[in-house]
Amino acid sequence: MNLDSLSSAPRLLAEVDLHPAQGTRFQPTGFPDLGAAEYRVGGRRMLLVESAQSMANRLEAVCWDEVSDDLIPPLRGLPYVKAKLPDGKETSSILEAHRLNSPYIVNSKGFAAIEEKIGFEKDSPFDRRGLAGALLHFDPNSLIHGIFLEKVGGVVRLPRALSAFIEASDVDVAASGGVKLDRVQPATEGESTKYGKAAEGYGNVPYHREEYAAAKITAFFNLDLALLRGYGLAAQAEQLLIALSLFKVQRFLQGGLRLRTACDLDVGEVRVTRPVGFALPSIGELETALPDLIKRASEHFNNPPVLVVEYSKK
């Protein structure tokens, strides 16, 4: 696996065409009080199928093995923070939406070690490179997906190095509907509502539904190489972060894109648009290379790599 052609490129941009695995309709992401995110570009009706924040969570989720409750085998040895909860259950910076800024991590005695490593001083210029080093030490995934540790300081933040989204063009609404059937008490009004009203879950309730069809659906990926280089990390750490980012993209695309019940998408060929001529390494190449890259960068990691903290609500 050769990543030398990325050494001077400011960005790695890739895209891939998607299409419904069956039929023509799909269900986009929805937002409270907004619904699907439609917009127009030059008269074309566009649709946001998957947002950047949702894609960040999905790209992190591909690293986790739910059965063993740990990182997948090729990524073992990467540092992360595990939080033990009072009821005996656990969560981690890999699974939490806000990563190291999860309330189950920042509200723990163990967070003091992370805060000390960050080295934030009030009323003093903040060193972003120091923050990058601390994130590499405790949770490199936070370097890739971004972090905002406002409880440490309002400037203790880094943007996403790897971002992604899915959008569709020339879309149209596929309107449909149905009825929630109640075989015991079909009525929702009047004296015959023996058990309860519709608001309580009783009765036959008709509903409408909106799905979409599109001429084209495309997933976009953006790896900010200049941002990673600007952190001044060791060469082996930088190589690891690039390879890990590319692995996330390939594993996401090859793991089956059933984003929602009615959004099951097939994947076309990946096109790298910048830098010209670069091709993404295969998932097999990345899986083979990552254990060695992790080992070579391990001198910059916490020892042991998994920091265990105990949540204590303040």
The β-bridge relationship of strands 30-31 and 306-310 is: unpaired
Number of Cβ within 10 Å of residue 86's Cβ equals: 9
What single-letter amino acid sits at 215?
A: A
Cα dihedral sign, 238-136-155-103? positive
User: Do residues 19 and 217 touch, judged by C-beta distance below 8 A?
Assistant: yes
- The secondary structure of the chain as a DSSP string is ---GGGSS-SEEEEEEEEEESSSS-B---EETTTEEEEEEETTEEEEEEE-HHHHHHHHHHTTEETTTTEE-GGGTT--EEEEE-TTS-EEETTTSTTGGG-HHHHTBTTHHHHHHHHT--TTS---HHHHHHHHHHH-HHHHHH-EE-TTT-TT-EE--SEEEEEEEEEEEEEEEEEEE--SS----SSTT-SS--GGGT-S-EEEEEEEEEEEEEEEEEEEEHHHHHHTT--HHHHHHHHHHHHHHHHHHHHS-EEEETTEEEEEEEEEEEESTT--PPPHHHHHHHHHHHHHHHGGGS-SSSEEEEEB---
Nearest Cα to 36, choosing from 44, 51, 48? Answer: 48
pLDDT of residue 34: 82
User: Do residues 220 and 167 touch, judged by C-beta distance below 8 A?
Assistant: yes
Q: Per-domain residue ranges for the chain? A: 8-173+211-310
**Tens digits of pLDDT across the chain (314 residues):** 889 889 999 999 999 999 999 999 999 998 877 889 999 999 999 999 999 999 999 999 999 999 999 999 999 999 999 999 998 899 999 999 889 999 999 999 899 999 999 999 888 898 899 999 999 999 999 999 999 999 899 999 999 999 999 999 999 999 988 898 998 998 888 776 888 888 888 988 888 888 999 999 999 999 999 999 999 999 999 999 999 999 999 999 998 799 999 999 999 999 999 999 999 999 999 999 999 999 999 999 999 999 999 998 76
pLDDT of residue 73: 96
pLDDT of residue 163: 97
